[in-house]
A and B are shown apart, each in its own frame.
Chain A
Amino acid sequence: MDENLKIVGKRVIRSDSYAKVTGGALYTADLKLPGMLYAKVLRSPYPHAKILNIDVSKALKVPGVKAAISGFDAYGVKWGVFRYTQDHAMLPTDKVRYIGEDVAAVAAVDEESAIEALSLIKVEYEPLEAVFDPVEAMKDTAPQIHEQYKNNINIHIHIEVGDVDKAMAKAYIVREDTFKAKGEAYAMMEPYAVVASYANGYLDLWMPNAGPHVRAKALSNLLKLPLNRVRVRHINSGGAFGGRSEVAPGDLVASLLSIKSGRPVKLVLTREENAMCSRQVHDIIATVKTGMKKDGTIVAKEYKTIYDGGAYSSTGPIATSIPYYVYEECYRLPNVRYDGYRVFTNKGIRGMYGCHGRAFLAGNEAQMDLMAKELGLDPVEVRLKNGLTAGELTATKSKIISCGLKDTIIQAAEKSDFKKKWKKHTRNKGIGMGCVAIMCGFPMGFRSGSSCYVKINDDGQVTLITGMVDNGQGNESLAVQVASEVLGIPMDDINLVNADTEVTNLDPGSYSQAAAYVGANAVKAACEDARKKIIAIASKKLGVPEEEIDLKDRVAYSVKTPDKRMPISWITREAFFKGEPIVGTGSFFPDIDLEREWVSKPEGQMAGTYSFGTSVAEIEIDEETGKIKVPKFIAAHDCGRPINPMAVEGQMEGSVGQAGIATIFEGNMWYKGFLLNPDLLEYKVPLACDMPDIETIIVSSNDPKGPFGAKEGGLTIRMNAYSAIACAFTNATGMLFEELPLTPDNVLKLLEKNKGGKR
């Protein structure tokens, strides 16, 4: 079947794009339900303070106000992704831990009444000493943000493989450097919004999310409602990038207000609230020590990485691990010691990010280039030498199933004339390369797999039902395209019902890069089940053996005698006559080690497969101003097989902006727990005119278990584009970056140091 693909691999137009170009696609803030109220949230003005009292009684007296709540109206349940990280009440009653934390909220017939009512809520605080720097927070003298976490250490991940000390001692060269990076803003174009509607004992919710099932489960816990009473519904999502994976404080706020008032409630965050009070990205300090042989072989790595975790645990153990894992999934690391610390500070709540870990990853890659230079080696050769290949195990014993790393390196190097440019670069110009691997899914218990149902309707058209969710990357269209291939029915004839917890079954969601590999595999399995049933009927009706029948253009036909054919709609009717309508079910559960645990057992099969990628950036530094320009960027990604190459390229190009150009622009700025650049004037997101000339290269390693060979489609560039820029900086200046982003002031400081002879 793979040899004669009809639609998979073609540049098809996305099934969701028609509604999006007409303005007909609905996002949460567009919803208007009968009797709907508007919510506003009162937020903490303190980074750290005890809550002595919250009085909402006066707010309730404002005309038009229908409900006012605080944490005292909640159920005393705290959220955390893991049992051992449940520390986030979302509406606290003991103390506030960051500026902007949700403290109380009102729902009124209009926004103005809600805003007026907010000003009448009385909260008594007792301010406490706060801590904003993770290194300070780890000291014995620092204020404790949560009683149960000593020295504010939320998570400590310790990984020990081989004998690091012995290997370092024997290494030809050893280098240790420390790299910092400011956390970025997700800056999704859609500010966070949620509509909650509680009626007849059922709570319906709409919000941009990357996993409706985990969202519903979290809310059923927080609200002490049975899971079947919490229904997260489908709605378009204006970007997520990792920031909408977890339940949000606003979800609890809107739900409580709706339960109290008995009316639907809409909460839309402002752009500033979205940056300050929804998720943020971790600031990171990474110390990287590398031992290398004379021939460039990495013999040992030792890491100490500190993640500024903000006020609560969030995805703590995952966030503390991922930057390391995507590196060990790319390179052979025979001896490793990784100590990752996620530390609480009095800053906003943090989450995973599509580009998470730039200090660590760019630091590793830039340091490798400097070491290669010292050894007289070429960075391309060093990467090829240390890069993993199919069949090998990662340091923590996860098998690489299919691997196009080598091809991405070679093709990106050739296309950019890398070796020549790297060796003979002109003053203040440089070229750099970054590589990484990405796990397609990771262990999430029984939520690691996906299920799908498909029914063939009486007119031969199809309804596809899957938990897969789309945050803009094209997962919906991906599901429809895969179904179209298997069933021989055009994409236009396939209706998709997805990301609705009532009608769809479990799916890992779109935040673990599992959509293409896991979700689409379940779609494929369900459609193959239906296909078999269609073919069985066709075989009888046409008098042709089943193995001779193929489905194409809404028709079942004999491959040997194509005249023998009948429309699938006839077959469907036949099935109805028999009282056996054609319904297919299918699921996919990746081959992963479910015993693997982030803290207690960081070993075993991490994911069903891995994608690989290489970025190459060329930069020019203006010595006078410190400004970096990126004229050219080449991105090569091994996605197994592109289901829709246009969508994969789109992901790669977006990543060049969000991770690559971000390296010279983006970083959150803080003053005593106050986010200084929460808006899009102060926080610079790349514009069209900031983008380099981009070339994308798709490498197909044809994964043995991926649907039609597919793996995730483009995230590697999101996690190596900054490395390419950082390495290009090293190539241009002979020095390593110290902190990202490489803004002009930062660059000038480094250039000044360089003049001081530290070259």
Chain B
Amino acid sequence: MRKEITFTLNNEEVTVEVEPKWTLLYLLREVLGLTGTKEGCGYGECGACTVIIEGKAVNSCIYPVLEAEGKNITTIEGLSKNGELHVLQKAFIEKGAVQCGFCTPGMIMSAKALLDEKPNPTEDDIKEAIEGNLCRCTGYVMIIDAIKSVAAGR
């Protein structure tokens, strides 16, 4: 039994029919074709599927799709404006924070949620903000540097 939901996705209003059992991640990737958000585990442990919902970083793989009704949701595809990368995206590139790249979109979304809420975070704040985002390649050093550089540049 499908149900229609309406929400704001990357600053545009979207109305779409969904199955109640879907996760938000399923809707994004399989129905809307937004594959920038990744699935690394499917049960909210790795953070590869992180999106921002109402200002908070959320694991979309365990977020029931009906909960999206009326919400303001941002995915990695919604960060750049008019072809101009978001400062965090630029910082990740410049600081070498990207290796295999699979965790990168989720990591950037968690970082954005942090900086939106707390423009001058401490290093511990940063580590806490990305503690739900696993990275197997980088050892996190350059990721933390990238986030710090954006905070410092504000």
- The chain A residues found within 8 Å of chain B, CB to CB, are 11, 13-14, 16-27, 29-30, 32, 187-191, 236-239, 241, 270-271, 471-474, 646-647, 649-650, 652-658, 679-681, 685-689, 691, 694
Contact = CB atoms under 8 A, between A and B. Distances in A.
A688 B142 CA distance: 11
Given A190-B38, A271-B42, A22 B80 contact: yes
Interface of B (DSSP majority class):
loop
A23 B39 contact: no
B94 interface: yes
Nearest to A635: B139
B45 A189 contact: no
Nearest to A241: B136
Given A20-B104, A472-B99, A679-B45, 9 more contacts: A11-B96, A14-B98, A21-B108, A27-B38, A191-B40, A238-B101, A653-B138, A653-B142, A691-B141
A657 B45 contact: no
A18 B98 CA distance: 9
B5 interface: no
Contacts of A647: 96
A26 B33 CA distance: 12
A216 B38 CA distance: 27
A629 to B, nearest CB: 15
Interface string B13-50: 00000000000000001000111111111110110100
Interface of B: 29, 33-43, 45-46, 48, 75-77, 79-80, 85, 89, 92-94, 96, 98-105, 108, 126-128, 130-131, 133-144
B21 to A, nearest CB: 10
Contact of A646 (B40, B96, B127): B96
Contacts of A187: 134, 136
Nearest to B94: A13
Contacts of B105: 21, 23
Contact of B136 (A18, A658, A688): A658
A674 B114 CA distance: 40
Contacts of A30: 29, 35
Contacts of B135: 189, 688
A472 B101 contact: yes
Contacts of B79: 22
Contacts of A189: 38, 40, 46, 48, 100, 102-103, 134-137
Most buried by B among A188, A236, A652, A688: A688
B98 A23 contact: no
Nearest to A658: B136
Contact of A23 (B36, B100, B131): B36
B100 A653 contact: no
B36 to A, nearest CB: 2
A655 B139 contact: yes
A190 B99 contact: no
Contacts of A32: 33
B98 A649 contact: no
Contacts of B34: 23
Contacts of B108: 21
A680 B43 CA distance: 9
Contacts of B134: 187, 189, 680, 685, 687
Given A189-B46, A271-B40, A691 B99 contact: no
B95 to A, nearest CB: 8
A649 B48 CA distance: 23
A349 to B, nearest CB: 20
Contact of A471 (B45, B75, B76, B100): B100
A472 B80 contact: no
15 contacts: A14-B98, A18-B93, A22-B36, A23-B76, A23-B77, A23-B105, A187-B134, A187-B136, A191-B39, A655-B139, A657-B136, A680-B40, A680-B134, A689-B131, A694-B139
B123 to A, nearest CB: 10
Given A20-B104, A27-B38, A680-B45, A689 B92 contact: no
Most buried by A among B43, B77, B128, B130: B43
The 6 closest A-B pairs by CB, nearest first: A23-B36, A472-B100, A20-B101, A238-B102, A653-B139, A23-B76
B134 to A, nearest CB: 5
A627 B130 CA distance: 23
A474 B38 CA distance: 20
Nearest to B129: A688
Contacts of B104: 20-21
Contacts of A680: 40-41, 45-46, 134
A681 B43 contact: yes
B89 A22 contact: yes
Contact of B35 (A23, A270, A687): A23
B131 A687 contact: yes
Nearest to A11: B96
B137 A23 contact: no
Nearest to A646: B96
A474 B141 contact: no
Contact of A239 (B29, B77, B137): B137
A236 B101 contact: yes
Contacts of A657: 136, 139-140
B31 to A, nearest CB: 11
B78 to A, nearest CB: 9
Contacts of B40: 189-191, 238, 271, 680
B136 A239 contact: yes
A188 B144 contact: no
A11 B97 CA distance: 13
A7 to B, nearest CB: 16
A21 B105 CA distance: 6
Contacts of B142: 646, 649-650, 653
B100 A21 contact: no
Contacts of B38: 27, 29, 189-190, 238
